[in-house]
Structure 1
Amino acid sequence: MAWAQVPQVPNELRFADLTIRINEQARREIQSDVDALYRSPTYFQTKAERVNLYLPLVERELRNAGVPSDFKYLVIQESSLIPDAVSTSNAVGFWQFKQGTAEEVSLRVDNQVDDRKNIVNSTQGAARYLKKNNAQFDNWMCALVAYQMGLGGARGYFGTQYNGKKVIEIDRNSHWYFKKFLAHKVAFESPTVRLASNSGYLEEIRVQGPTTLKALASRLGVSETHLKEYNKWTAKGNIPDDRPYSIIYIREDTQQARPAIAQNQPTSQPAVTTVSSVSNTAYPKVTGNQTNATQPNQIKVNNIEGIKAAKTTTQEKFTDQIGIRENKFRRINDLEKDEKIEAGQYYYTKAKKTRAEEEQHVVLPGETLWSISQMYGIKLSALKAKNRIKEDRDLKAGMMLNLREHIKRGEDIPMVPASEFRKVVAYNNQQPSPTNPGTVSSPQNTTVPDSGPTTSNSNAKVTIHTVVQGENLFRISQKYGVSVDDIKKWNRLSNNDIKIGQKLTINKP
């Protein structure tokens, strides 16, 4: 790879909701750490490849827990994303927990399972720990330092001087751990990280035991050794039956390669953060009793009370059915008086918010300001104001809309570079839509009961399966109770790539 220039530490940057101002002496100190991280191109490249693999999952769990995504750089600092890393003080795993602290944040650590080596569970534990720290200080810098010192040590070190403070001055006396963190943030949010050459990405499934990695391997189309490499949390390859467990493996697919970290770029050409985070397939987020989603008081949409329309009808009939005043419903959902209620669409029954959970959205062909506002649960007026845009005719595919902060006055809405936009469109086209009841759920929400590997049967019934949006070979194998290898053999597939509309022969047992 062509080695890029080492990124330079600025005099001011943003971390979480804080403005960090760095004096020159501290800046040189942090720059020295950045230089050290870049000193060996081979070492940095190896670490960057792990970063690109693991951080989409880390970002997701931090976001779901309400912890600023900047903390993703902390896991790099702690373990270099090595799952079985062990420190001199016997801290273990991705987030370097000692056993007592791990159990304190509800991680399982015993002779069968070590959640500290599970990227999903350990990130959830880290998020709980960081939120507890922040509750004491109302300051994410103090919460981060408390991760290293412990809450009592941080209270003694900081006192209350930073409680609620939003502008932090960093100098030679500032805590070394936070300065080291800033070095990792500068180093790994650099565009250089995108030079990592991953040929695939981590896919996650959730499996309810009892079963084994060996039993899962053939069904996933990977080796048992591969599963053991990426699931070191299970000591002997056994998956217990006490709860669903996250299993991760590399899915080879260069077209869906997803950069892990938001990139800093000059002018108005920011790169995409993760394709998953700007992909509208992740939204709206629907929770609650989804089997009764068409009934009132059953679900939340983006953590706001909502409902799914069972059929296309008028606003008057729909609001009568769900027991809400028509004018109020129309105001909540930013609807015009004569607009129809569309079957399968999610609507809100409580007020939408002025800021979305996600920071940005890449506009795709066919989207409108209204559809985007509904997708994220943000008021239409707020979406327009944040982006200084008034009409759908001003909306262009490839625009990067702000969902939380206002764009600066006088600035144009940035456009995603064409190469990145193609990735976003391709990724969205291959993912299931939450608003389409005919598709499967996304990988992170899939629970796969296991009944062991299956084999082909010479007396099997032949079925022709047409690939639909959101499917992959593993999900199809689950549907028919066959293995991925069998499907590949029956259809003479050289790899796991399939396309929407493709016909597959299935010898159903």
Structure 2
Amino acid sequence: MRFQQALPILFLYLFFGTNPLLAQIPKVPAQLEFADLTLKITPQAQREIQLDVDAQYRNPSYFKVKQERFQLYMPIVERELRGMGIPEDLKYLVIQESGLISDAVSTSNAVGFWQFKQGTAEEVGLRVDAQVDERKNIASSSRGAALYLKKHNATLDNWMTALVSYQMGLGGAKAYFGNQYSGKKVIEVDRNTHWYFKKFLAHKIAYGNAFGLLVSNRQLVEEKIQGPVTMAALAKRFGVSEEHLKEYNKWAGNGRVPAGTFTLFYIKEASLPIEPAIVKSPEEKPKKSQSASTASAKNSPIYKQANSYPRISGNTTKANQPNQITVNELDGVLAGKTTSPSKFSDEIGVKEKKFLRINDMNPGERIETGKYYYTEKKKTSAQVDTHLVLPGETLWSISQKYGIRLASLKSKNRIRKDSDLKAGMVLNLREPRKRGEDITILPISQPVQQNKSVIASATKPVEAKPSTPTYPRETAQPNRVTHTVAQGETLFAISRKYGVTVENLKSWNSIGSQNIISIGQKLVIFKP
């Protein structure tokens, strides 16, 4: 075979052969076994479910993280389901509900692996109080979920409708389905089948296929312990770090096990990486000055993604001039000074009304120094699937960050106002959220509050009264200074001058991933 003929084959091997996730995206079959049911899936439903399967694989690194959690926790989930006589197929529901994140919280205040509200958790025998929250215990919560599903199936006599009742409750399922599926063993899945069940099938197909692809030597160990006892004491007993135990035992409030008998979880292997709620990149380690959860969150892929936008390309040395750069692949411009939309639109040659409409701004709002604005209509979807809401962000600032229309962002997530936005929310940027589907909220630390009247933030410009910045008690309050950028200066040079990091400068002044600063720009700096 000649070299030119071999090139396409070599490319396909390198691209797909080295990435098994891309090479093995499973296809939705026309017939599928689920629990004791045979499902016949229509072509239209196949296409719909396939979109959800593909979405699971779209971000290989995030899929791998969920896959690793699946392998870690699934032996315990399967054991608890078997113990209650529940078909093991229902194990995929826990991935759909929480992504196997122990302290995930939904917008309706459902908590933990299986997303129980407090009242429902107590109904299935879970302890929920200030000392213990068994919703965050993989074994206890799986038993509770099994009991809940078993009870509902006894009434509905069909595992499909029992599964959907997990989302809408027993009363809701009885009203929605009636008796049409009671005792039925062959079911046609079509365009009218409830979205929650089709989403479940996507998870079953995606993760059922991927389960055997990853080989890991990590094993979740269970140890019976007697309280009261601290995590520090248990860490010494089992030869792991206190932070590790706290991460895998979030069911224990305040890092202390109260009086009684409990099960402790930890990872047994040569090294003991923490598996945080927001996943930490394996090559990075938390700084000692941060809590484990804070450091993990800031090192996570989804956190880094949120801080890597907007994406700037083009002639960045003339970013404050029109037709020089693109912002998220759209024509844009960097504001070199704070001014009015009227003056700014004149400078860049765009009519003011058009400029305001493109950027989802209202008349009278200010153009802020160092921020990017669009001169081309934003898109209805972003380049990435999701966004992790960071403290201080608004719907407008998120829409500007990704170049997505504000109305589209609100519509996709069924959120209409900033007061409904919470730090840690995972917002959809491409696919709309289903009706009745909660928004997952991941734990993320709140930053130190700073003076909004001085520091350029990522939020939509608003007038705010000056307030005194607050700092942790254990650190001295730094001196705040303002630095005016001179010709030839770089972020690195400025950071060296004041003894701070480049990341600090970028964070304090909302500077994007391209590290662009302009002559005369005023930077706020907190000297240590």
In the superposition, the TM-score normalised over structure 2's length comes to 0.47
Q: Which has the higher contact order (CA 8 A, sep 6+)?
A: 1
Larger Cα Rg: Structure 1 or Structure 2? 2
In the superposition, the TM-score normalised over structure 1's length comes to 0.49
